[in-house]
Amino acid sequence: MATTSDFRNGLCINFNNDLWTIVEFQHVKPGKGPAFVRTKIKSFTTGRLLENTFTAGVKIDTVRIERRPYQYLYKDDLGVHFMHNETYDQIFIDEKLIDNPQFLVDGINCEILFHAEEEKVLRCELPQFINAEVTYTEPGIKGDTATNTMKPATLDCGAEVKVPLFINMGDKIKIDTRKGEYNERVK
């Protein structure tokens, strides 16, 4: 058990029979009345963001979360298969537990979050940026870099993203997996 003075960004708590992580918090001491903590918390199961106020000093139930390095292997009807980078143990998880699964490429290293006491998979996080090759897009026009116009492009991992007009088939680009957007061209 912990109190509101132990709040920090990323702390995982058990609240309303669900696991939540603290995204943002602020201790407030008004001139009149008791102190309180204003928080923004995000659900592990639904991804919903909630604003909640806790009275200062109230006891909360913290949960220990472990991040473990895994490498993506393949996907089949059982789920998505991963291998631990150090012990070589293999696990499979449901695709809905993965943030943006369309960006999974062979051999990508991911972090899988586990509930430490129950050994239960909570979520799989991809690296923030991946490099991918454009397999199909409409031909680009040389010198068309002044406008902010985007066109659809299909990547080698099967995902479709919007790219600038000067990107051609065969170009390698950097993708932000959290937003699912084009970031830059890779040389």
Per-domain boundaries in the chain: 2-62, 65-125, 131-186
Sheet-wide strand order for 12-15: 2-3, 59-62, 12-15, 18-28, 36-43, 49-55
Domain 131-186 falls in which CATH fold? Answer: OB fold (Dihydrolipoamide Acetyltransferase, E2P) (2.40.50)
Taking the CA atoms of residue 117, residue 118, residue 122 and residue 127 in that order, the dihedral angle to the nearest 10 degrees is: 60
Rounded Cα–Cα distance for residues 26 and 24 (Å): 7
Cα separation values, 124 from 12, 62, 155, 159, Å: 16, 21, 21, 18
Q: Do domains 2-62 and 131-186 have the same CATH topology?
A: no
Helix (H, G, I), strand (E, B) or coil at 102: helix
* pLDDT recorded at residue 10: 87
Q: How many CB atoms lie within 10 A of CB 178?
A: 14
pLDDT in tens for each of the 187 residues of the chain?
Answer: 888 888 999 899 999 888 999 999 999 999 888 999 999 999 887 778 999 999 988 999 999 989 999 999 999 988 999 999 999 999 999 988 888 889 988 889 999 999 888 888 988 989 999 999 999 998 866 666 667 788 999 999 889 999 988 888 999 999 999 888 999 999 8
CATH number of this structure's domain 2-62: 2.30.30.30
Check if CATH label 2.40.50.140 holds for domain 65-125: yes
